Each structure stands twice: as C-alpha cells, then as structure tokens.
Chains A and B, each alone.
Chain A
Amino acid sequence: MTHAKLALFGCNPMAMEVAHRLRAGDTRFVMVDHDVALVEVAKREGFEARQLDYTDDASLRAVGIGHRIEKVFCLLPEDSENVFLSISARALDAKLRIIAVCQDPQAAGKLLAAGADKVVDPYEISGARTHDLIERPEVVDLLEQTVFGHQDLNIAEIVIPPHSWLNGRPLAALRLATTQNVLLLGVVDVEQGMDLIFVPRGGEHKLDAQDVLVVLGPRGEIEAFRAMVEGNPKST
C-alpha cells in the first residue's frame, strides 16, 4: 500500500468538503484532527483519518511530515492553530507546500510569515463571488458551469520541457503553430516572477524551458496541444 503524500489537517465541515473534492479527483490523502468525534465522522465517510495532537512534533512526524508528505492543508477552525501548524510543519520540512485557510484577513500575513505558501480566505472569496453575481452574473454563471463545473472545458498549465522545439522561440510562433481548439491565455516566466504574461501583449516574449503556458480548452485538445509543445514540430 502506497502512502498518502497529502495531509489534511481538520475534520470540520470545511475540511470534509475539501476531502470530498479531493477524492473526486483521485488524490490520496490522510486527514488529521485532535477531536475524536470529528475523526469518527470522517472515518464513517470512508476517509483515512487519524486522531492526533498536532501541537506535538512527534505526532507530525508520525503522519509523515518531514519525509513522505509533500503537501499540507491547514483547515483548522482557528487562525492561531493554523499558524502554529504552519510553523511546526515548515520547521520539519523546508520544501513542504503548505496551504492554509484564514478567518481574519489580518491572519493572512501571519500565516505567510509562519511558512504557508498560499493562504485562502474563504470569506473574502465568497464576498467577491457574491459581488460578481450582482455585477457580472453572466461571467460567474459561465465559469461555474464550464471551467469550474463538470463540463469538458478545463484550465491547464503546461511546462515547457528543456528539449522542446519552442525553447528560444517567441510566443507568437507558438500561436501560429496552434491548430488545436485551445485558448492560450498567457505564459508565466518563473524566472521573472509569478505574473502572467498575457498573450496578445507579449508576442515577442522569448519562451524557454520551465516557462508555464496557461491554456483553456477541452481535455482532448489540451492533451494534443501538450503533445505538440513537448514533441517534435514535424510530427504535428
């Protein structure tokens, strides 16, 4: 039996929601909480859950942080708990990816300082979504039913491999070579920062290995596009 590479801290309703979504995406993970009752609920739902005291480094090691675990979700109800967990996990493993939720917007900065890579503010996002529903209901509807929904329209990222024919070519060349039904939104040059270079404005941008292409499209078309990017231009 292979071990989970993802640890999910918290068995509260929000964590359960995340767990269901992860299971739908065939991701293996282990859930951790200190509340026996909540752990029982998670087990009844069929998740792999453990009751542990996460303030204790030994317990964190027992879950696998420091060796097996690559990603951690901190979904505990209190900001202070998530901060403590982030600090503890970061101390055990410098390369770990830590994603945390925050309740109070002021806690976001503290979580980042504690070592979290990404902070999600559920209320901020929900508020923004609600406001979008007032201002631009068409856009929200469209995305919820396509990209975020169950239809075959997805967002994907494709990393340019070192041996790709695109290496050193301008972005415009890639656009000309694209015959698939995909929409190339832009490229993120990891060396220059995490900002998206938007396609119509960055035609002269030189692509190189490790650049990340951001595309939208049906799954099959994206795969064909990926093959084209990663493969030999003559074969496409």
Chain B
Amino acid sequence: MSFPDALIRFAYRLETSRRYTRAKSFAYRLLEDPRSRLRAAFDMVMIVLVLSSVIQLIYEVRHDLGAYADLYELFIVGVFVIEYLARMWLYSDSHKILIEYYERADLVGQPFLLTPTLWEIARRKLAYMATPMAIIDLLAILPSYRPLRFLRIFLIFRLLKLFRYAHNMSVFGRVLVEKRFELLTLGLFVGFIVMVSTIALYLFEAEQPDPSVTSLMDALYWSVITVTTVGYGDIVPTTTEGRVVAMVLVFVGIGVISFATSIVVTAFHEKLRELHDNRVYSETERLSGVIIVCGFGRIGQVVAERMKAGRDGFVIIDKDENTVEQARKLGYLAIAGDATNSTILSNLGLGRQATHILCLTHDDVSNVYITLTARQMSPDITIISRANKAETVRKLTQAGANHVVRPYEIVAHMAAEFIGQPVAFDALYDMLNRNKNVYLEPVVVPPGSGLDSQRVGALGLGGQRLILFGVVRSHEMPATPEYPHYELTGKRFYFNPKPDFHLHAHDILMMIGHELSLNRFKASINRKKPFWMHA
C-alpha cells in the first residue's frame, strides 16, 4: 500500500472514529466554546499561570530561584506549547480536507495528487499561525529560551496573552479596531502636523548660537511632547519664530487630544450595551432552566412578578429600551432587542436550557413569527403565545404554539359568567388564581405508591377535608366504560368518580382543598407503602 493510500485510509478512520470526535469536541469546549463552563475554568487557570510565570521571570532578573523555578517554567512552557498545538489542531480539520480532495479527484476521474492536498492543509494551519492571537501565543513561549537574553522582552507578550482569557479586555481591542478609520485619519493629521512643526522648529532653532535643538531628532521629540500637551520643558524654543510654532502647536494639540478622547469615549458608549447584553447572556447561561419572556407589557409584568415569587429563572426581551430599563430596575434579567431575531433567542438559551418561551408582544404578527422561529429552533420547548384576534389562534397553533392566551376572550368569558352567576364564578376564580388558601391542585399518582391501584373511596378524603374534583387519565390507559368521562386532548377526565373507582399509576388527581390539607396529602403519598400492604 502506497503512502497516499495509507494516509487516506487513516483520514477515513478518523472521520468515523467516535473517540476522535469526542476528543475534538472536548478540546473545543475547553478552549473555544464561548458558552462552556469548562472554558471559563480553563481561562481562570491560564490567567493564574501567566501571572505567576511573569512574576517569577521578573523576580529572577535580580535573584536566583534554583532548580524548582526552572521546572515550573518548563511546566508552564509545556502547557503553552500544548495549548498552542491544540488550538492549531482545532482551527481546521486536516483529515476532512484530505477526504474532500480525494473524493473530488475520484468524482472527476483524475488521479489523486498528494502535494496540492498537503499544501492546502499547510496553508490552513499557516493561516492560523498568522492570526494576531496565535503570534502572541508563540511569542509568549519564547522568553524562557535562556541563551538569548533579549527574548526576555517577549515577556510582555505573555501579558498580552491575558487578552485571550479575559474576555472583557478584548472588548477594548475591538473598540480600537472598529474605530480604525477615525483613528487613522487622526493619526495622519497628527503625523503631518508633527512633521511640519519638527522641520520648522529645526530650521528656526538649530542655527542659533548655543541651540537647545541640535538635531532633527530633538525637534521631533519636542514636537511630540508639545502636541500631546505634555510639555516637559527640557527643550524650549528661544527664537520668536520658534515660539510662534510652539503656540500654534499647543492649540492643535488640545484639538487632537479632545478629538481622540471623544472617539474612544463614544466607541465605548456604543459598546456598553453589548457588554451589558453579554453579562445577561452569561447569567442566563448559568440558570439550569430558563423561561424566555418576549415582550414586557402589562401581561409580561404580571407573569414576571409571579415567576419571581415562584423562583423560576427567566429572562425578558423587549424592543423598547425604556421598558428594558424598567425591567432591570425591578431586578430582572432583561435585554433590549427584537425577539424575532434568532441569534438573540439562541444566546438566551433557546434550543438548550430554555424550557418555555412566552410570546406576549402586543402584535399578533410578531407573536406568530416568534412562535415559528422558536419551534424551528427547538422542537420540544413549550411555547405559550398571546393572541388578540380570534383568528390568530389557529395560526399560532399551526406555527407550533402549545398554548394560546387570549386576553379579550378571558374578559368576554368573565363578563358573560358574571351576568349569570357572579357568586359561583368569583368562587371558582379565586380557587384557580389561588387568591384564597383553598385551591385546586393536581397530584400525580406515583407508581408503586400507596395510591396506586387504590379505590377512591378508600382514600379517606372527606376526613382529610379534601374534595376530589376528578381524575385525569392518559388515553394510553384502557377505557373504563362503566364510568362516564369527558374527552380532553389526549386524556380522559373522570368527573367526581364513584368510591369504587380504581386509581392507576400516572393518574392525575385534581384535588380541591386548603393549602395545609393539600400539602399533608402530598407528603403522605410520597411516604413508602408499609410492607404489610404489599400483596
């Protein structure tokens, strides 16, 4: 078997190997994945390593630390080298390039050429090595090379390496990159001014007897010190012409400094929101289950208030900056943005730890759109959507909403009931909304518990001051024709079951009772069945 053949077989082996895939995904989570906790921990360790090595190298300049220090330095360099190689490995999939080239050659019926393939692989890796962070990484390894003392200066690069691990620091770099056009313009302007003033000062001052400016370098140094408004005063112009240059330069300097400051300040101001959003994203990431609330109108506020009381993790997204500000004042996690944007939703955990998404905006069109987006991104999330118009309900269900809430319908319903039977309706309403201590509570029958295959009559509910409203049973259980029931979607509801009705595991008992009675009942079923009852 020739060498290229062996190489291609090896590439295919890697492609199918689960261990290789696992190792690579682990490396990705450790080094790159912006969401992984592993990466956050790794970053912390690396920061400590970098700082300790820098402190050690500085201390070593004047002191001798012995063999252990050398070992430690060796260890750190080892870690750096491994990290560097791992990042290079992650940057591109060489075996995939190999397979791609091989299959392409196979497709057009041409012989497979190894050299261009290897060149492509090398090109990708070199592209990685040329990235600024990779160069910094490489230079950070150098200071430990003892024979070349001047390499110590690259210690600075070890500190620059911190940029990689401290993510807020990299925002500063991004600000400068984003404003490069303005900064470049300013730089060119300053360069021009400095050049003119340098030459002018040299011409006026250098020919004086006993001049303080003896070379063009002196003039340049003076110009820079003056234009930045630092003004040490070690070199001062003595001729009238030179002083005129100085006066003009001072005013230009003030303009330059204020212009530069304003560029950086506005750039940071623009970035501030992004920084804040990143904080919200990372806090959302830490929650194990999160409910995404789209729209912080009145309904959103009521839901948020209740969820806060119930200690659910949730995050709010609203288009309006002021609304978001209001939510933040209440101590909620909130982000200003368009909830129809799938990137934002994904950052908030849709498709990962998000359990529910509530589409509560005023606009039916937006709600349908968010519902559709959410359903596409996450097939098993629970979507609760608001509909103002009756005809939107069908569209929302079609888009994938699990439940639809219609404020107007609720009002209509309450109003209609209120005409006929105000007292009964109020009582039921209080019970549902838990306004009083008596309420309706679902209790699931756990398999193997004391309730499993028990008769309803034997539960002694009256003695516990509880009312059994009914039993909800899944359609998967065989129907019991002797008991009448109501059909629900996927379930049957046995209203007010007779005392000889037998319970099954996973039935849901709909109990009405006082909070204390309900809690006692729930606690009692979770207790183990006594051994004499196993038969």
The reply on A114 being an interface residue by CB < 8 A is no
**In the complex, chain A residues whose CB is within 8 Å of the CB of B493:** 142, 145-146
A124 to B417, CA, bound (A): 18
> Given A18, A135, A156, which contacts B424 in the complex, CB threshold below 8 Å?
A156
> Given A17, A147, A156, which contacts B411 in the complex, CB threshold below 8 Å?
A17
Flag the segment in B17-25, B45-53, B510-518 that touches A.
Answer: B510-518
Asked if B465 contacts A126 (CB within 8 A), the reply is: no
Asked if A201 contacts B421 (CB within 8 A), the reply is: no
The reply on B508 being an interface residue by CB < 8 A is yes
A111 to B389, CA, bound (A): 27
**In the complex, chain A residues whose CB is within 8 Å of the CB of B417:** 155
Flag the segment in A58-66, A85-93, A178-186, A226-234 that touches B.
Answer: A178-186
For residue A141, which residue of chain B has the nearest CB? B488
A6 to B415, CA, bound (A): 12
The reply on A216 being an interface residue by CB < 8 A is yes
Flag the segment in B136-144, B247-255, B297-305 that touches A.
Answer: B297-305
Known: A122-B408, A198-B514. A127 touches B301 (CB 8 A): yes
Asked if A153 contacts B486 (CB within 8 A), the reply is: yes
Q: Give min CB distance, B522 to chain A, whole Å.
A: 14
Known: A21-B415, A99-B418, A153-B486. A127 touches B306 (CB 8 A): yes
Asked if A13 contacts B408 (CB within 8 A), the reply is: yes
For residue B433, which residue of chain A has the nearest CB? A128
Q: Give min CB distance, A219 to chain B, whole Å.
A: 13
> Given B389, B467, B514, which contacts A185 in the complex, CB threshold below 8 Å?
B467
Asked if A181 contacts B423 (CB within 8 A), the reply is: no
Known: A133-B405, A138-B508. A143 touches B432 (CB 8 A): yes
**In the complex, chain A residues whose CB is within 8 Å of the CB of B389:** 13
**In the complex, chain A residues whose CB is within 8 Å of the CB of B405:** 126, 129-130, 133
Asked if A126 contacts B423 (CB within 8 A), the reply is: no
A212 to B428, CA, bound (A): 13
- In chain B, positions 465-514 with a C-beta closer than 8 Å to chain A are 465-467, 469-470, 472, 486-489, 491, 493, 495-496, 508, 510, 512-514
- How many residues of B sit at the interface, in one of the four size bands? 35 or more
The reply on A134 being an interface residue by CB < 8 A is yes
The reply on A132 being an interface residue by CB < 8 A is yes
Asked if B495 contacts A17 (CB within 8 A), the reply is: no
For residue A75, which residue of chain B has the nearest CB? B411
**In the complex, chain B residues whose CB is within 8 Å of the CB of A212:** 423-424
A140 to B411, CA, bound (A): 16
The reply on B426 being an interface residue by CB < 8 A is yes
The reply on B187 being an interface residue by CB < 8 A is no
- In chain A, positions 4-37 with a C-beta closer than 8 Å to chain B are 6, 13-14, 17-18, 20-22, 24-25, 27
A185 to B468, CA, bound (A): 10
Asked if B423 contacts A183 (CB within 8 A), the reply is: no
The reply on B520 being an interface residue by CB < 8 A is no
Known: A135-B310, A146-B493, A186-B427. A130 touches B412 (CB 8 A): no
Asked if B469 contacts A18 (CB within 8 A), the reply is: no
- How many residues of A sit at the interface, in one of the four size bands? 35 or more
> Given A13, A99, A130, A218, which contacts B360 in the complex, CB threshold below 8 Å?
A130
The reply on B324 being an interface residue by CB < 8 A is no
The reply on B438 being an interface residue by CB < 8 A is yes
Residue in A6, A134, A194 with the greatest tally of chain B CB atoms within 10 Å: A134
A199 to B461, CA, bound (A): 12
**In the complex, chain B residues whose CB is within 8 Å of the CB of A123:** 297-299, 302, 407
Per-residue 0/1 for B308-331: is the Cβ within 8 Å of any A Cβ (1 yes, 0 no)? 001010000000000000000000
Q: Give min CB distance, A150 to chain B, whole Å.
A: 11
The reply on B212 being an interface residue by CB < 8 A is no
Known: A139-B510, A198-B514. A134 touches B307 (CB 8 A): yes
Asked if A21 contacts B496 (CB within 8 A), the reply is: no
For residue A198, which residue of chain B has the nearest CB? B438
Asked if A126 contacts B489 (CB within 8 A), the reply is: no
For residue A218, which residue of chain B has the nearest CB? B495
Per-residue 0/1 for A212-226: is the Cβ within 8 Å of any B Cβ (1 yes, 0 no)? 101111100000000
Q: Give min CB distance, B306 to chain A, whole Å.
A: 4
Per-residue 0/1 for A163-192: is the Cβ within 8 Å of any B Cβ (1 yes, 0 no)? 000000000000000000111011010000
A200 to B421, CA, bound (A): 22
The reply on A157 being an interface residue by CB < 8 A is yes
**In the complex, chain B residues whose CB is within 8 Å of the CB of A156:** 421, 424
Asked if A183 contacts B469 (CB within 8 A), the reply is: yes
A233 to B384, CA, bound (A): 49
Asked if B495 contacts A181 (CB within 8 A), the reply is: yes
Q: Give min CB distance, A102 to chain B, whole Å.
A: 10
**In the complex, chain B residues whose CB is within 8 Å of the CB of A151:** 486-487
Asked if A196 contacts B427 (CB within 8 A), the reply is: yes
**In the complex, chain B residues whose CB is within 8 Å of the CB of A135:** 310
**In the complex, chain B residues whose CB is within 8 Å of the CB of A153:** 486, 495
**In the complex, chain B residues whose CB is within 8 Å of the CB of A127:** 298-303, 305-306
A126 to B405, CA, bound (A): 7
A132 to B441, CA, bound (A): 11
Asked if B488 contacts A142 (CB within 8 A), the reply is: yes
Asked if B466 contacts A200 (CB within 8 A), the reply is: yes
Asked if A101 contacts B411 (CB within 8 A), the reply is: yes
**In the complex, chain A residues whose CB is within 8 Å of the CB of B424:** 155-157, 212, 214-215
Asked if B432 contacts A25 (CB within 8 A), the reply is: no
**In the complex, chain A residues whose CB is within 8 Å of the CB of B337:** none
The reply on B386 being an interface residue by CB < 8 A is yes
**In the complex, chain A residues whose CB is within 8 Å of the CB of B227:** none
Q: Give the 4 A-B CB pairs with smallest separation, nearest first.
A: A127-B302, A123-B298, A157-B424, A200-B465
Residues on A lying within 8 angstroms of B by beta carbon are 6, 13-14, 17-18, 20-22, 24-25, 27, 71, 73, 75, 99, 101, 103, 118, 120, 122-143, 145-148, 151, 153, 155-157, 181-183, 185-186, 188, 194-196, 198-201, 212, 214-218
14 CB contacts below 8 A, A to B, read: A13-B388, A126-B299, A127-B302, A130-B302, A130-B405, A131-B302, A134-B307, A134-B358, A155-B417, A182-B496, A188-B427, A200-B466, A200-B517, A214-B424
Given contacts A122-B411, A216-B469, 7 further A-B contacts (CB under 8 A): A124-B298, A127-B301, A131-B302, A146-B488, A153-B486, A196-B438, A218-B495
